[in-house]
Amino acid sequence: MGGPSRGVILQLLLVLAVALFFAFVVANTKANLERAGLSAGYGFLWDTSAFDINQRLISYDSTNTYGRAFIVGGLNTVLVASMGVIAATIIGFLAGILRLSPNFLISRIVTVYVEFTRNVPLLLQIIFWWVILLALPRVRDSIQVGAFYLNNRGVRMPAPVFEQGSVVLLIGLVVGVVATILVARWARARQDATGHKFPVGWTGLGLVVGLPLVLFLITGRPIGLDLPEMGRFNLQGGFNITPELVALWLALSTYTGSFISEIVRGGILSVNKGQTEAAGALGLPSGLTLRKVILPQAMRAIVPPLTSQYLNLTKNSSLAVAIGYQDLVSIGDTILNQSGQALEVISIYMVTYLSLSLLTSTFMNWYNGRIALVER
C-alpha cells in the first residue's frame, strides 16, 4: 500500500463515490415515486389487512393490521427455521457418521441421499416433499394412533388446555431444569476429582419430567386435553401441524442436513487416526470413542462452517412461498400486492433476515469460542 496520504485520498474518493451513488439513487427514487403519484412510508402497517392466515403463533384475524400480519409471518419464519436447524443438525450428524459406517449398504444409501439432495435445487425438493405429503390418506381415512391423527391435511394432536393452577407446573418445570443443570455441574466436578460417575441422565429425566408430573397429580390435574374430533369437513379441536410446515421443514432439514453431513464427515476424518487407536487401546467401545474422543475434537472443525449452514437454512426458508407456508415472505407478498408498498415491504424482509442472521452468528460465535476454549 502507498503512503498514508495516498490511502487517505483513496478512502475519501470511496466515501465520495458511495455518497454520490446513494444520492443518485435517492433522487431517482423520489422522482420516480412522484411521477407515478405514489407515496412512500410505513404508515400502511397500521391499515387493516383483511386477509386470513392459517398458521399463527399469536392471535390474529382479518381485522388486524398489516403490521401484525408481518409479525405473524416473521414468527412463522423463526419457527420453521429453528425446527429446521435442530433437525438438520441431527440428520447431518447421523448421516455424516453413517456414511463412514462399515456397513456397505448403509454407507451407500447415505451417499446416494447426500448426493441427490445436494445437487438438486431446493425449490424442487420442497415441492417434492409437499407432493409426498399430499399422497397421505384423506382426512376421512386418517391414520389414528390414540388421539393423534395423520392425514394429508397434517398431523392433528390433542392440545393442552391450561386451567387454573397450571402455573405451579411451569414453576416445577423450571425448577427441574435448573436442578438438572446444577446436578450435571456437580457430577462433572466430582468425576474430575474422584473419577466416579453419576447417572446425570436419569436424575435429569426424573427432575424435568417427574417433578412436574408429581405436581400435576398433587394439584388435581390442572391441565386438560382438547381432543380432536371429526367435524363435517375437518377434524376439529386439538392442535394441527400443516403439511406445508412439515414439507418445508423436511425439505430444509434434509437439504441442509446433507451439507452438514459432509462437514461432519470432514471433521471426523480430520481427527488423527491415532486418537481412535489410542481410545481402542484404552478399551473404550467404539460408540464411546466416537462420543468422547472423536466428536469433541472434530467439533472444532465442524462448528464454523455449521454456522453458515444455519444461516443458509434460515434464508432458504423464504422459499416457503412456493407451497404456501405463510412465512414472512409469503405474507409480505400478499401485503405488497394489496398495498403496493414495494420499497417498504422489501426493506422489512431485508431487515428481518439480517437481524436473524446476526443473532444466529452471534450465538454460534459464542458457542465456538466456548468449545475452542475447552479444548486448548
Partner 1 sequence: MKSAPRPFFRNRDQMIPGRPAPVTQVGVLGWLRTNLFSSWFNTLLTVAALVLLWRIVPPLLGWTVFNADFSGETGEECTAAGACWAWVDQRINQFLYGFYPPRAYWRVNVALLLLIPAVAYVLFDKLPYAKYGRWYSLSYPVIAAILLIGGFGIERVPTDQFGGFMLNLVAGLAGIALSLPIGILLALGRRAKLPVVRYASVIFIEVVRGVPLITLLFVAIIILELFLPPRVSLAQLVRVMVMITAFSSAYMSEVIRGGLQSIPSGQDEAAQAMGLSYWKKMRLVILPQALKISIPGIVNTFIGLFKDTTLVVTIGLFDILGQARLLQTNPDWIGKVDHETFLLAALFFFVICFSMSRYSINLERRLDTTRR
Partner 2 sequence: MRTTNWAKGAVMALAIAMAGVSAHAGTLEDVQSAGVLKCGINTGLAGFAYTDDMGTWTGFDVAYCRAVAAAVLGDPDAIEFVVLTGKTRFPALQAGEIDVLARNTTWTLSRDVDLGLTFVGVNYYDGQGFIGRKALGVMSATELDGASVCIQTGTTTELNLADFFRTNNMEYEPVPIETNAEARAAYEADRCDVYTTDASGLAATKATFDDPDAHIVYPEVISKEPLGPLVRHGDDQWADIARWVLNALIIAEELGVTQGNVERLAGGTDHPEINRMLGSEGSYGEMLGLASDWAVHAIKAEGNYAEIFDRYIGPDTRLGLQRGLNALYKDGGILYAPPFR
Q: Closer CB to partner 1, residue 55 or residue 316?
A: 316
From the list 19, 20, 23, 28, which residue makes contact with partner 1 (rule: CB under 8 A)?
Answer: 28
Which residue carries 392471535 as its cell? 59
Those residues with Cβ within 8 angstroms of residue 93's Cβ, 6 or more apart along the chain or in another chain:
260, 261, 264
Partner whose footprint covers residue 197, from partner 2, partner 1, none (CB < 5 to 8 Å by kind):
none
Helix, strand, or coil here: 299? Answer: helix
Q: Edge-to-edge strand order for the sheet containing 143-145?
A: 143-145, 148-151, 154-157, 239-241
Q: Closer CB to partner 1, residue 218 or residue 359?
A: 359
**Residues 129-148: x where in contact with partner 1 by CB under 8 A, - otherwise, as a string:** --x-----------------
Q: Looking at the DSSP assignment, which residues form a beta bridge with residue 240?
A: 156
From the list 94, 127, 173, 175, which residue makes contact with partner 1 (rule: CB under 8 A)?
Answer: 127
The CA distance from 85 to 94, in Å, is 14
Q: Is residue 353 close enough to count as binding partner 1 by CB under 8 A?
A: yes
Q: Is residue 205 close enough to count as binding partner 1 by CB under 8 A?
A: no
Q: Closer CB to partner 1, residue 69 or residue 215?
A: 69
Q: Is residue 14 close enough to count as binding partner 1 by CB under 8 A?
A: yes
Helix, strand, or coil here: 212? Answer: helix
Min separation Cβ 27 and partner 1, Å: 9
- The three cell numbers of residue 359 are 443473532
| Region of 28-36, 136-144, 201-209, 241-249 interacting with partner 1 (CB under 8 A) | 28-36
Side chain identity, residue 310: Y
- The three cell numbers of residue 12 are 475519501
Partner whose footprint covers residue 89, from partner 2, partner 1, none (CB < 5 to 8 Å by kind):
none
Min separation Cβ 241 and partner 1, Å: 24
Pick left, alpha or beta for residue 221 (phi over 0 → left; psi -120 to 50 → alpha; otherwise beta): left
Pick left, alpha or beta for residue 21 (phi over 0 → left; psi -120 to 50 → alpha; otherwise beta): alpha
Q: Is residue 337 close enough to count as binding partner 1 by CB under 8 A?
A: no
DSSP 48: B
Contacts 24+ apart (CB under 8 A), 337-344: 338/49, 338/50, 338/51, 339/44, 339/47, 339/66, 340/38, 341/40, 341/44, 343/29, 343/40, 344/40, 344/41, 344/42, 344/44
Q: Is residue 304 close enough to count as binding partner 1 by CB under 8 A?
A: no
Q: Closer CB to partner 2, residue 52 or residue 115?
A: 52
Min separation Cβ 330 and partner 2, Å: 7
Residues that bind partner 2 (CB under 8 A): 14, 17-18, 20-21, 24, 32, 35-38, 50-54, 62-63, 127, 131, 134-135, 138-139, 152-153, 231-234, 236, 242-244, 321-324, 326, 330, 333-334, 336-338, 340, 342
Positions touching partner 1 (CB under 8 A) are 1-2, 7, 10-11, 14-15, 18, 25, 28-29, 31-33, 35, 101-106, 109, 115-116, 118-124, 127-128, 131, 311, 315-316, 318-319, 321-322, 329, 336, 342-343, 346, 349-350, 353-354, 357-358
